[in-house]
Amino acid sequence: MKRIRYKSGFTLIELLVALVITGIIVSAVATLAFAMNSAGLATDDMGRKQAQVRFATARISDLIRQCRLVCYASADEIAVWRADDKFNDGKINIGELVYIEAGTAHDYLRLCEFDPSSSTEISLGSIGPLSTNWWSAYSSTIDYTLLMPECSNVMFYLDDTGSPPKSRLVSITCDVVENGAPRQYQMSAMLRGWAGNLLDAAGNIVSDDD
């Protein structure tokens, strides 16, 4: 009588154990890959937002340090006389005026500048909220430079020396969400070339610096 030989193989229990172990390994690898990807995205997001903060801080701090006067301020924006660098006439020309704006929702920071070639003189008393379009009587164009598109709770602060144009210190705070948590940043700068010598007793700019 011939003996029947059976080929050796895996039993059902062995297959089930192998499938369970394989599933655990695949699940662990997938979880690790997801965690690494999430960490990479979070790092990229934080790096991008911090780069925006550095860019905004550099632009705004340089602008404030070099400007001559803070001409207008509200909860949503401030306007500064950048410098008497276009016409050197001791007057505020529309092309020398710059707004730092946060919007009514206080959720961004941007610069608003007018036609730099415009020599139209403007008085301090005529400078008001950007949204009223008061500037349209002096300039036909306005350019926007978005500095921080992803922030919230933007606040403007001036020193205690009085309201514009006597203010010499400007501070701006804002919140930026990083890794799911808000973090507050502050930008502060002092006017180095404050043109107080051009103001009369009433705080109005005079015609020259005599």
Per-residue pLDDT at 39: 56
Residue for token digits 């306007």?
79
Q: How far apart are CA 71 and CA 97, in angstroms?
A: 9
Token code pair at residue 55:
């860019």
| Residues 6+ away with beta carbon under 8 Å from 88 | none
Q: How far apart are CA 174 and CA 108, in angstroms?
A: 9
pTM for this prediction: 0.77
Per-residue pLDDT at 35: 67
Mean pLDDT over residues 149-175, rounded?
90
What is the band of 29 on the pLDDT scale with cuts at 50, 70, 90?
confident
Average the pLDDT over each of 3-7, 175-179, 203-207 and give the range with the smallest value.
3-7
pLDDT of 210 higher than 90? no
Residue 6: phi and psi, rounded to 5, are -105, 135
**53-69 as b/e, with b when 16 or more CB fall inside 10 Å?**
beebbebbbebbeebbb
Q: Check residues 129 and 161 and name the one with the higher pLDDT.
A: 129
Per-residue pLDDT at 65: 95
What is the overall mean pLDDT for the chain?
85
Q: Check residues 46 and 106 and name the one with the higher pLDDT.
A: 106
